[in-house]
Amino acid sequence: MAKIYGYSGVSVLSKLARSGGYPNWPERLKLDPRCSVRNRKREIERLPEPCAEAVIYQDSFWFRISKFFQPGDVILTETGTASSGGNDFVLPRHATMINSAAWLSIRYALGACVGATLVRMEWEKWRSEHPGEFIKGRTILFEGDGSFQMTAQAVSDISRNRLDVIIFLISNDEYTIERVINSMNADYNDVQPWNYFESGSYFGAPKDDPSYPVFAKRANNWGELFEIIEDPQLKAGKGFSMVEVMMRKDDAVASLKELVHLAKQQNRAG
């Protein structure tokens, strides 16, 4: 059984289901939120593979990336397009999902990831010293580039405490969810792009230390992302791993765009 904390997405999904589903989704990606996890897993297997050069769009990213998850993983999504995208995850057994759907405060997730990883690693150490089987998981954070810029120094805590963390950094030219809600072209949503995947070395993560390996790669398209998530070092989840996933600045899951559309309609109606 997967545990889901701070997750109000289910009621949003059922409302959308009642309102006719996800009208803008390509036919093959339309999912009924009431569909069982087993059927969803089968659905992932059936998705046709995108060509290697294809842009990574959010309408299938969150669903497809679920193939990377393993039982016992602790998975966090930052407020922004990631918190809506996470509604499409298909979680394995014994996974823990942490998101801030109710509070919607950006920059909570990187710090929460530090705390959750400390607890997970201490618990796993304790379990390994006691009899009985247990499932060893990984920490996987889906972080927005705008949110990361507010809390990046937490990477220093991650290195200092030798925390095993995997970060998928959604690199989409900053505040995309704000663009979707307010205005696609408002320049206050533009922030200086950083070399995110170099943050491990910038914040002093060790170089060439086999006991704390550092993994840093950028995925510009599906081909690169598939290759990266098959890498045994990343899969093992040991050390600090940062995968910068390049996405379009106007891209978000259709359910988020639809939600914004419904809210605007409601506001107009008073």
Give, as ranges, the residues between 175 and 204 that touch Mg ion (CB under 5 A).
Answer: 176
Identify each DSSP E strand in 119-239 by its residue range.
139-144, 165-171, 214-219
Local structure of residue 170 (DSSP, 8 states): E
Q: Binding to Mg ion by residue 145, rule CB under 5 A?
A: yes
Q: How far is the CB of 263 from ligand TPP (least distance, A)?
A: 14
Considering only the C-alpha atoms of the chain, give the largest distance between any 2 of them, rounded to a whole number of Å: 62
One residue of 144, 200, 237, 239 binding Mg ion per CB under 5 A? 144
Task: Pick the piece of the chain touching Mg ion (CB under 5 A) from 109-117, 133-141, 170-178, 226-234.
Answer: 170-178
3-class state of residue 70 by DSSP:
coil
Q: How far is the CB of 203 from Mg ion (least distance, A)?
A: 20
Q: Which is nearer to Mg ion, 88 or 251 (CB)?
A: 251
Question: 10 Å Cβ neighbour count for 29?
Answer: 17
Binding at 124: pick from ligand TPP, Mg ion, none (beta carbon under 5-8 Å per type): none
Q: Which is nearer to ligand TPP, 91 or 177 (CB)?
A: 177
Local structure of residue 188 (DSSP, 8 states): G
* Token pair of 60 as six digits: 């299938």
Q: Binding to Mg ion by residue 146, rule CB under 5 A?
A: yes
Local structure of residue 178 (DSSP, 8 states): H
Q: Which is nearer to Mg ion, 92 or 146 (CB)?
A: 146
Q: Binding to Mg ion by residue 143, rule CB under 5 A?
A: no
Q: Binding to Mg ion by residue 172, rule CB under 5 A?
A: yes
What residue ranges bind ligand TPP (CB under 6 A)?
A: 78-82, 104-106, 144-147, 170, 172, 174-178
Among candidate residues 83, 81, 42, 88, the one with its CA nearest the CA of residue 62: 88
* Token pair of 225 as six digits: 């992302």
Binding at 88: pick from ligand TPP, Mg ion, none (beta carbon under 5-8 Å per type): none
Local structure of residue 245 (DSSP, 8 states): E
Q: List the alpha helices (DSSP H) in 161-248.
A: 176-181, 199-202, 222-229, 232-236
Q: Which is nearer to ligand TPP, 66 or 84 (CB)?
A: 84
Mask: binding to Mg ion, 64-83, rule CB under 5 A, as x and -?
A: --------------------
Question: Using CB atoms within 10 A of its CB, is residue 150 exposed (0-12), middle (13-18) or buried (19+)?
Answer: middle
Q: Which is nearer to Mg ion, 107 or 138 (CB)?
A: 107
Task: Pick the piece of the chain touching Mg ion (CB under 5 A) from 13-21, 33-41, 156-164, 174-182.
Answer: 174-182
Q: List the alpha helices (DSSP H) in 78-139.
A: 81-85, 108-128
Question: Using CB atoms within 10 A of its CB, is residue 183 exposed (0-12), middle (13-18) or buried (19+)?
Answer: exposed
Task: Pick the piece of the chain touching Mg ion (CB under 5 A) from 115-123, 150-158, 160-168, 171-179.
Answer: 171-179
Residues of this chain that interact with Mg ion (CB under 5 A) are: 144-146, 172, 174, 176
